[in-house]
Amino acid sequence: MLKKYIAPFSLLLLLLSAVGCKSKIKQLDDQIYSRHLQRQVKLTIISTPMPADKTELNLLILNDGQEIGQFGVKDIIDSLYKKKLINPVLVVGVHAGDRMKEFGVGDQPDYLKRGDKAADYDEFINDELFAYAKKNATVRKFKSVVIAGCSQGGLSAFDIAWTHAAKIDKVGVFSGSFWWRGYAGNNPTGEQINQSRIMQNLVKSSTKRAGMKFWFEAGTNDENGDRDGDGIIDAIDDTKDLMLALKTLGYVENQDYVYVQVEGGQHNQSTWSQVLDDFLIWCYGK
């Protein structure tokens, strides 16, 4: 069991040492084998300089790590860190496998059976990736743990955070697929679809995760759909309805959860990267 961590451990330890010496943001690629997913999982790792006190190091897990370059993560972190706007952070970007199967809501595939391996991906994050990150950063515990994702990866990030509130402090969702639903039916109405949305119903039937905080983004041009005909696109409606469910549990807007709406924002990395600095400052700001 230990052998599979030796190479990554040495690699990242070298990275962190180099970062500490040169005080520069570093990026490298790595991979680990997941017994839960039964595949090699590629990772992209970005790190600020290691703090003298390792207990001050934060962890950010990003779904869809294969798009980390398009997202501009390294450059934005580099800029914020040089300006002393954020605290030290280790980013682990997880490259997606079959997104339509691995991203979803736990044991609840949608009406087309998408997300049927979401529980396996959850176990990979909880059981394998946390262990990898701690061993490679040589820390027993991170100061804070954040998970984030875009689109279906955002739905996955929220679900994993909600399931593992004892380990995860914050979650960031960019244009989350909160339309995810269990009902198809014959010519369903907008209201029938709304009542069938999986994540909103899951939160409504849950108890409050004390201390957890949430960051949401949606663009006004994320899509064109407006199934309930209220003049607001579904991407915004679905996100706001999830926030309403959080509010019902006792979470307070702008204190426990934040919503950023990008006027003209589209469903792509270009839009999401525009607000990444705001998200990172919200997570790790000094």
For residue 21, the model assigns a pLDDT of 42
Average pLDDT in the chain: 91
Spans of the chain, pLDDT less than 70: 1-23, 185-187
**How many independent structural domains does the chain possess?**
1
Q: What is the pLDDT of residues 94-114, one digit of tens each?
A: 999 999 999 999 989 999 999
Q: Quick check: 18 and 26 in contact, CB under 8 A?
A: yes
pTM of the complete model: 0.91
- Radius of gyration (C-alpha) of the chain in whole angstroms: 19
Angle at 27 between CA 21 and CA 260, to 5 degrees: 115
Cβ atoms within 10 Å, residue 189: 12
**Strand, helix or coil at 181?**
strand
CATH number for position 231: 3.40.50.1820
Q: What is the pLDDT of residues 66-78, one digit of tens each?
A: 999 999 999 999 9
Structure letter (DSSP) for residue 253: B
Question: Domain range spanning residue 216?
Answer: 3-284
For residue 192, the model assigns a pLDDT of 82
Closest Cα to residue 45, out of 13, 21, 20? 13
